[in-house]
Amino acid sequence: MIEKISLQNFGRFERDEFTTAKVTVFYGPNESGKTTLQHALLDALCSLDKRKELGRRIHTRYGAQRRATVSPEKPFGEFDAETLENLFFVDSGKLYLSFDGTTEWLDAVKSSLFAGGIDPRLIAEDLEGEASTRRNKSHMKSYQRDMEQREAKLLELEQLKAQHRDALTEQTQLLKDRERLAVLDDTRGRLMQEISDLELLLEAQESYRRRDELEELDHAIQEKARLERDLESLTHLAEDAEPQLQATEARILKARNELSAVEARRKLLQQQCIDAEQLLDKRHKQSEDLLPHRQTAAELRQTLDTRNPRIRTRHERRWSSSWLIAAGSFLFAGLLAGALGLLGRVPGIPTDALQVPAALGWGMAAVSGVAALALLFLKARTYVSIEDRSELDNAAAEIRKALPQELLQAGEHTEYEALRDRLHAIEAQAAQAEEAAQEAEQNLRNTKAALSAAEAEYQQMNERMIGAEADRNTLLSTLGVRDSAEYSRLRERYRAGVESLSLLKTKLEEAAKKHSIQDIPRLESYCAREIRHIDEQLKRERLTQDEQRIKRNLHDGNRKRLDELEQERELLMGRSEREHGKLSDRLTRLPREVLRLEKEIAGLDSVLQAAELRRKGAAKAAEIFFGIAEDTGNLLLELAAGISADYHHIVGPRDALQLQEFGLERATVPDRSGAARLPEQLSEGTRDAFMLAARLALAVRSRPEAAVFVLDEPFTAFDPERTRNALLLLAQKQDEHPYQYLFFTKDPLLLDLLKEVFPELQLHELEPILGEPE
């Protein structure tokens, strides 16, 4: 409680002191210093901030020399000037508190009532912000970033693990490569051994071939020697007796041929003789056969020539058939015509029509008849010549009777001539036969002569031949051969031998040149040596051509395999070298990187967990603060109740007022009629009553411990009853709280009431100072 207020140089108060009690009244007219005293009180109780409006105002108005103190010094502790001025200074003019808008002091008052000066809702909202998972929040942004980083690192980890697995697979592969290389080396060794073996085998075949060649040469040499020996024995055949021998042989042959020819001729002639003889016989016979007939024929012929039979001709009249027919025809025609003429006489047929035809018919009939008769008499009988061959036939018959049929062979019609000719022929024939017989005889004689000539020749030839044979035999024995065949053979052998020998020699000389050997004897020893040499060296068996072919294929096959093998080996070795070093690096490096990443991820995990815990904690704390704020809301209701009570105290029983929000902005106050009204809608007196109640309620809750109220004409709008009620309310408050009241008034009525309600008040009467501006 303030006990004393002292002022120096404060406005009109140069040096003044006022004692104060629980209730102090400053009674005086206008301009008696009431306002100054209030300012002094503010100045003394609060530390006025010169920067703020109030402080500036007071400083400007009263100057730096002013001094205002209270005793004791800070009776209420720290008192905020604005709170003091606005809440605890109850001034009718300023009784109305606008709860709308935000005034700092009012906010401070409101929140200090319930939360020690801090609005829990604000803290709760702050914490809610920190608990929020909305993306635009900075802590969520960094949370998101960390999450993304974690995801990225997890991905990276997976990739690294995959790389590591790959590296391990590669390592296994490299090991397999190594094993394979070992196998390949093994195979390679084996293959090379086999190839070498085969090559040796094939080389051996070459040696065999060479040996064969040399052996051939050797044989050739042996052959040469043999031939030479052989030929030696035949040297006597060197000189060629062949032509001689051939000549004799030719002679023999010629003689023989001639002999044969003669022989043949002889035989032929013999045969011819025989034939001629036969012919002669035959011809003789023929001639003899014909002889009698020849005579007959001659006689006949003479006879007939004399007689001279010939053909006789006679003429006869004969009917000619052709003219007969013609006549017949005319007759017939005439008959027909007659018929036609008769037609006219038949009953029933019109005679007119038939007049002409009938006439015609009669005419024709007449004509035809005449013609027929003419022909008949004139032409029908003609003269015909007839041959008479009877003479001839008789002659013919005579001949035939005289001579055999076979000689005659005559035809039918001209038999006689033919027969006559035949007579000539028979004569001729007989003459011919005779001639022929004579000819045959001559022929026989010739042939016989020829035959004997041939016989003579034959003898000659034979002798010649024998001579030639004898020559030959002599020659043969000279040559020492049995026969010329043998000589031929020998000769052939010699010749062949010479030929072979010369071939051999050529061959051997060539071979000698090839082997750079001077002569053939040396060649022989060379061959022998070489063959021995080869025989010593030969360690492999001999193969046939087919076997060689197989072995060569095998060799080629092996070579190919070896090449492939080498390729694979090179590939593997290259790979192994290339990869091994890098792989070791990777296998060392990758686990380390994996570990590093795992650590980073673990780090991020703990950061994320901490952030989440933080958010949850913030949410929980916000919850608690919201709870507190809500409780504050409850307290608000309590406030409303309190204000209501005070209000009712002043204005009498009414409905309770309603406080909608913590801030009194929407406080609704019931007026006398009971309608709920906003404060500004109330009548001045009612409003002032509410405001007073509100102020008191706020003030009481704001500083439940000691405070001071400065009331400057507070109840101008009140009627006396309300004024009394208000004063009684204030007195009641003073019973509950150690409040100090300082009244400033000029109203005597109020003074009386004050004296009535507060019997122990301290009164100061103030005098106005003329001429002093307030």
Partner 1 sequence: MPSFLHIADLHLSRSSQDYSFCVLTEFCSYVIEHRPELVLIAGDIFDEFADAEALRVPFREHIASLPAETRVLAIPGNHDILRMGSRKLDVLDFGIGEFPLHHFQLLHGADLEVLAVPFGASPPSPEDLPPPADGVNRVALVHGTLTGLGLAGPEQAEADDAALDPLAYEKLGVSYIAAGHIHKPFLSQGSPCVYAYPGSARVWRRGEEGPRGFYHVRTNRPGNYDIERVELRASGQYRRVVVTLNADGSLPELHGKDMLVEAADLLELVLTGLVPDDAALERIARDLRNTLGREVRELALNTDDVFVLSGAASHPLARGFLEAWKLRYEQAETEQEREVLVKARELGLRKLKSRIEARS
Contact residue for partner 1 among 152, 155, 175, 311 (CB under 8 A): 175
By C-beta, is 639 or 692 nearer to partner 1? Answer: 639
Q: How far is the CB of 605 from partner 1 (least distance, A)?
A: 8
By C-beta, is 363 or 704 nearer to partner 1? Answer: 704
Question: Of 507-515, 524-532, 597-605, 758-766, which segment contacts partner 1 by CB under 8 A?
Answer: 597-605
Closest CA to 392 of 414, 408, 421: 414
Contact between 599 and partner 1 (CB under 8 A)? yes
Contact between 367 and partner 1 (CB under 8 A)? no
Q: In angstroms, rounded to a whole number, what is the distance separating the alpha carbons of residues 358 and 341?
A: 4
| Cα 287 from chain centre | 120
Contact residue for partner 1 among 18, 114, 709, 744 (CB under 8 A): 114
Query: What is the residue-wise DSSP string for 697-733?
Result: HHHHHH--S--EEEEESTTTTS-HHHHHHHHHHHHHH
Contact between 621 and partner 1 (CB under 8 A)? yes
Q: In angstroms, rounded to a whole number, what is the distance separating the alpha carbons of residues 735 and 385?
A: 222
Contact between 159 and partner 1 (CB under 8 A)? no
CB under 8 Å, gap of 24 or more: what pairs does 154-162 form? 154/601, 156/597, 157/594, 157/597, 157/598, 157/601, 160/590, 160/593, 160/594, 160/597, 161/594
Residues 6+ apart with CB under 8 A from 723: 715, 750, 753
Question: Of 68-76, 239-247, 350-358, 615-623, which segment contacts partner 1 by CB under 8 A?
Answer: 615-623
| Cα 101 from chain centre | 82
Contact between 628 and partner 1 (CB under 8 A)? yes
Contact residue for partner 1 among 59, 61, 137, 161 (CB under 8 A): 161
Contact between 130 and partner 1 (CB under 8 A)? yes
Contact residue for partner 1 among 93, 116, 674, 771 (CB under 8 A): 116
114 close to 632: Cβ distance less than 8 angstroms: yes
By C-beta, is 165 or 267 nearer to partner 1? Answer: 165
Q: Where are the alpha helices (DSSP H) in 308-388?
A: 321-342, 355-378
Q: In angstroms, rounded to a whole number, what is the distance separating the alpha carbons of residues 538 and 211?
A: 10
By C-beta, is 431 or 613 nearer to partner 1? Answer: 613
Read off the tokens for 625: 């603060």
By C-beta, is 116 or 771 nearer to partner 1? Answer: 116
Contact between 171 and partner 1 (CB under 8 A)? yes
Contact between 162 and partner 1 (CB under 8 A)? no
Q: Tokens 């974690």 correspond to what residue?
A: 150
By C-beta, is 618 or 692 nearer to partner 1? Answer: 618
Burial of 474 (0-12, 13-18, 19+ CB in 10 A): exposed
Q: How far is the CB of 620 from partner 1 (least distance, A)?
A: 4
669: left (phi over 0), alpha (psi -120 to 50) or beta: beta
By C-beta, is 425 or 611 nearer to partner 1? Answer: 611
Question: Of 109-117, 278-286, 656-664, 737-745, which segment contacts partner 1 by CB under 8 A?
Answer: 109-117
Question: Of 288-296, 363-371, 609-617, 703-711, which segment contacts partner 1 by CB under 8 A?
Answer: 609-617
Q: In angstroms, rounded to a whole number, what is the distance separating the alpha carbons of residues 175 and 138?
A: 54
Per-residue interface string for the shown chain with partner 1, residues 400-439, x marking contact by CB under 8 A: ----------------------------------------
- Determine which helix (DSSP H) or strand (DSSP E) holds 451, and give its type and residue range: helix 415-479
Question: Of 192-200, 315-323, 336-344, 601-609, which segment contacts partner 1 by CB under 8 A?
Answer: 601-609
CA distances from residue 349 to 315, 336, 339, 690 in whole angstroms, order as listed? 56, 18, 14, 183
Contact between 614 and partner 1 (CB under 8 A)? yes
Contact between 155 and partner 1 (CB under 8 A)? no
Q: How far is the CB of 588 from partner 1 (least distance, A)?
A: 7
Q: How far is the CB of 129 from partner 1 (least distance, A)?
A: 11
Contact between 480 and partner 1 (CB under 8 A)? no
- Determine which helix (DSSP H) or strand (DSSP E) holds 8, and give its type and residue range: strand 4-10
Q: In angstroms, rounded to a whole number, what is the distance separating the alpha carbons of residues 332 and 227?
A: 129
Contact between 587 and partner 1 (CB under 8 A)? yes
Contact residue for partner 1 among 631, 684, 765, 767 (CB under 8 A): 631
Count residues contacting partner 1 (CB under 8 A)?
Answer: 48
- Determine which helix (DSSP H) or strand (DSSP E) holds 17, and give its type and residue range: strand 13-19
Contact between 613 and partner 1 (CB under 8 A)? yes
Q: Is the four-CA dihedral 545, 549, 550, 555 of positive or negative sign?
A: positive
Q: In angstroms, rounded to a whole number, what is the distance separating the alpha carbons of residues 206 and 543?
A: 11
CA distances from residue 604 to 143, 159, 591, 612 in whole angstroms, order as listed? 10, 19, 20, 12
- Contact residues toward partner 1 (CB under 8 A) are 114-118, 120, 122-123, 126-127, 130, 161, 164-165, 168, 171-172, 175, 178, 584, 587-588, 590-592, 594-596, 598-600, 602-603, 606, 613-614, 616-621, 623-625, 627-628, 631
